[in-house]
Amino acid sequence: MYRHMLVPLDGSELATSLISEAVEFARTLGAQITFFTMREDFGATESGALSRSLSPETYQELAAGDANAIVSKALAAAGAYKLQAEGVVRTGGKPYQLILSVAEEKGCDLIYMASHGRRGLRGLFLGSQTQKVLAHTKIPVLVATVESNAGADFARSAVGRIQDEHRTIAVILSGLRNSAEQLRDGATAIDMALLQDMVSYMTLFPERLHHPKEEQYLFAHLRKKTAELDEVINLLEAEHRDGASLLQEVSDLLRKLDTDPVLSRQAVAQSIERFVDSQWHHLNTEEKLILPSAKQHLAESEWQEIEMAFSVNGDLRRGSEDDLRFQELFVKLTNRSSLI
């Protein structure tokens, strides 16, 4: 049976579902996963050449793109189940060639991919790319998700959006834990600006974008259908508030760190770890208890409302100013850190 899967990703909504399916398949097989995504060669474009000459710093940011963010979220999904996984990013212009090259390089015995993804040059999963992989590979290929079959399933789409936001949070939590370990170990080269930005991101994203939608839609619908998780939901809502308080404590300690000679890095590290531990427990409860129960009890019409809430509702809709701002900040954080 297969022992090492290559999973190509492109950051599309279809790829979000593919990550969940790949993780579940790998768990069944006991296989390891290599997640792969392609970074476009920005330097080879006219815009890239101009940007490099005018502003090297801006060029580096644009050239990095969102590849690290894509792979980081996939690794967070695998990490939730303690699967052996790694992320690979390659720069190029021919996705199918890079897919085959990485599969051979990593010793993969299965390519697990979708049929479609982002349109245009960025798309790893355009039909022609999948066909080219199938035509040139000597490794078995499993086309696990087909775009035409995935569009009208509101439950699948809603769960995918929720899990994608959970993975975003999990990536930042991993970065915060890394920073706490550096503080505890007395490391001298800690990127304090990055640490502050991660704390700011966690202050804004869950409170402004994620938790309100969970409480107003997912939790509310589940309460109406079953009482079996009422105590769990009450606890989760309390943890939303408690998490904000724990994070405020971290933020306050970080501000004092440079000016308070009595305050130790150990105290800051402990505060960060308390917050991170609480959030990991919170995410695991939602993933292991709330989402499975919701899949069991909620009707398609209720999933449609939840899906709408997580994608198109008001100021928090997908593609809104707030949403795009959070996405941009997340990409910058993953590019500045060693989260993959």
> Of the residues 121, 150, 179, which one is the last residue of a structural domain?
150
Torsional sign, CA 15, 20, 23, 24: negative
Inform me whether the pLDDT recorded for 326 exceeds 50. Answer: yes
Residues constituting the chain = 340
CATH number, domain of 87, equals 3.40.50.620
Q: Tell the residue number behind the tokens 């009595």, with chain if given.
A: 262
| 166, 287: one domain | yes
Question: So what's the pLDDT on residue 125?
Answer: 52
The region of weakest confidence among 10-24, 45-59, 65-79, 159-173 is 45-59
* Residue 207 structure tokens: 């409170």
Ordered DSSP codes for 130-168: HHHHHHH-SS-EEEEE-HHHHTT-HHHHHHHHHHHHHHH
Asked whether residue 227 falls in the same domain as residue 324, the answer is yes
pTM of the shown model: 0.79
Over residues 134-164, the pLDDT tens digits come to 889 999 999 886 555 554 588 988 998 899 9
The answer, yes or no, to whether residue 309 has pLDDT greater than 90, is no
- Among 67-76, 171-180, 230-239, 328-337, name the most confident range: 230-239
Mean pLDDT score of the chain, rounded to an integer? 84
Residue written as tokens 């920073």?
179
pLDDT at 56 over 80: no
170 and 22 in a single domain? The answer is no
Averaged over 10-25, what is the pLDDT?
87
In a shared domain, residues 182 and 61: no
Is residue 109 scored above 90 in pLDDT? yes
Residues 220 and 79 in one domain: no
In this structure, the answer to whether residues 266 and 323 fall within a common structural domain is: yes
Indicate the pLDDT class of residue 206, thresholds 50, 70 and 90.
confident
For residues 138 and 168, membership in a common domain is answered with: no
Are residues 313 and 176 located together in one domain of the fold?
A: yes
C-beta separation of 230 from 223 below 8 A: yes
Handedness of CA 237, 238, 239, 244 (dihedral sign): positive
What distance in Å separates the CA atoms of residue 183 and residue 208, rounded to the nearest whole number? 29
Buried b (16+ CB within 10 A) or exposed e, 125-137: bbeebbebbeeee
323 shares its domain with 179: yes
Domain that holds residue 123: 4-150
Residues 274 and 145 in one domain: no
- Cα 332 → chain centroid: 13
Q: How many domains are there within the chain?
A: 2
Do residues 156 and 17 make contact, with C-beta atoms less than 8 angstroms apart?
yes
Q: Which of 143, 111, 132, 113 is nearest to 6 (CA)?
A: 111
Specify the 3-state DSSP secondary structure of 310: coil
CATH assignment at residue 253: 1.20.120.520
pLDDT of 20 above 80: yes
Whether 171 and 339 have beta carbons less than 8 Å apart is answered as: yes
- What region does 5 belong to: left with phi over 0, alpha with psi -120 to 50, or beta? beta
What's the maximum distance between 2 C-alpha atoms anywhere in the chain? Answer: 65
Residue 122 or residue 93, greater confidence: 93
Confidence of residue 129 (pLDDT cuts 50, 70, 90): confident
111 by DSSP, 3-state: which?
strand
Tell me the sheet residues that pair with 37: 9, 89
Q: List the Cα angle 335/93/168 in 5-degree steps.
A: 30
314 and 326 share one domain: yes
- What are 236-265's pLDDT values in tens digits? 999 999 999 999 999 999 988 878 767 888
Last residue of some domain: 150, 175, 210?
150
Last residue of a domain, one of 101, 133, 150: 150
What local confidence, expressed as pLDDT, does residue 223 receive?
A: 97
The Cα-based distances of 165 to 9, 47, 158, 171, 323 in angstroms read: 17, 31, 11, 10, 11
The whole-angstrom separation of Cα 41 and Cα 96 is 15
What is the pLDDT at residue 41?
Answer: 65
Residue 268 tokens read as 């800051």
If asked whether residues 220 and 84 sit together in one domain, one would say no
